[in-house]
Amino acid sequence: MDISVVVPLYNEAESLPELEQWIERVMRDHGFTYEVIFVNDGSTDESWQVIQRLAEANPAVRGVCFRRNYGKSPALNVGFARAKGDVVITMDADLQDSPDEIPELYRMITEDGYDLVSGYKQKRYDPLSKTIPTKLFNATARRVSGIHNLHDFNCGLKAYRSKVVKHIEVYGDMHRYIPYLAKLAGFHRIGEKVVKHQARKYGKTKFGLDRFVNGYLDLMTLWFTGKFGGKPMHFFGLVGSLMFFLGLVSTAVVGLTKLYHMHAGHPYILVTDSPYFYLALTLMLLGSQMFLAGFVGELVARNAPGRNQYEIDAEINAESSTTTI
């Protein structure tokens, strides 16, 4: 099969028939073999009934229905697990993503050799209250992830080589950082295509401003786990050691200062009356706790069942012979 189109949705009953007809027309015009996987994320409208009718009329349509609303990331993860196409396309169900972009996205994966191609909605039909935070979010994501050629990490219209979606796990709200997840999994050929952004035709947006706060926290989580997930002692141990050393030096300075004033006959205060003593003691305690956290993290990492499981892309085996004299 050439293409799997994964469409996560929540309360998009009005747009689904038009979207399915649009996808079907594009696939027919270009001779693609395809499937469309609608993942109904616990919709409270008639979305699932619409999907059932579409599946009856078109054998290429498949559907998954969650019992309740879990979020876009779980919906994508379930869709990825069921996708059978050589290239997987994701798009939103609100008709803001154009299926006419599919042929070029497919070509960039199959001919240009990209592992992942992300859409870039250069011209957006969104208010400034959404576009300005989006620009700041994307600038931060580029800086932290090191994927400097992407301008729109959160664009729903993306294309993937099949093995990419089979080797990443999209959970929580990590759908915003799928390119970063792919990079951490070893897929570095990540490209971008300018795509057309269409004004929403039906319904209203399902996302609020809280996604920017959550997105920042998720980005920090990905950065930390990607850099120190397998070696937590390198972070906690280093920070803890530095804090303990600074606290130890500070304690020594406070004590030596008192001894100096005693020897010189100058007025002095008790060490325990100095606020710097308690600050130094706090640094030593926090440093010890950080070091122990890194130690415990190492124990957990070393006993994790997948600690020595690595993705091997290719291998060459040579026959070896032993000569006995």
Q: For residue 323, is pLDDT > 60?
A: no
Is 96 or 209 the better-scoring residue by pLDDT? 96
19-55: per-residue pLDDT in tens? 999 999 999 999 999 999 999 999 999 999 999 999 9
Q: For a pLDDT cut of 90, what percent of the chain falls above it?
A: 55
Residue with tokens 């809280």: 210
120-170: per-residue pLDDT in tens? 988 766 666 666 777 888 888 899 899 999 998 889 999 999 999 999 989
Report d(CA 85, CA 13) in Å as an integer.
25
CA angle 147, 149, 153 (to 5 degrees): 70
76 to 28, 29, 30: CA distances (angstroms): 25, 27, 25
For residue 211, name the pLDDT band (cuts at 50, 70, 90).
Answer: low
Q: For residue 208, is pLDDT > 60?
A: no
Residue 8 pairs in a beta bridge with: 39
174 to 8, 168, 215: CA distances (angstroms): 14, 11, 8
186: region left, alpha or beta (phi > 0 left; psi from -120 to 50 alpha): left
For residue 173, name the pLDDT band (cuts at 50, 70, 90).
Answer: confident
pLDDT at res. 307: 62
pLDDT at res. 25: 97
- State mean pLDDT over 170-184: 90
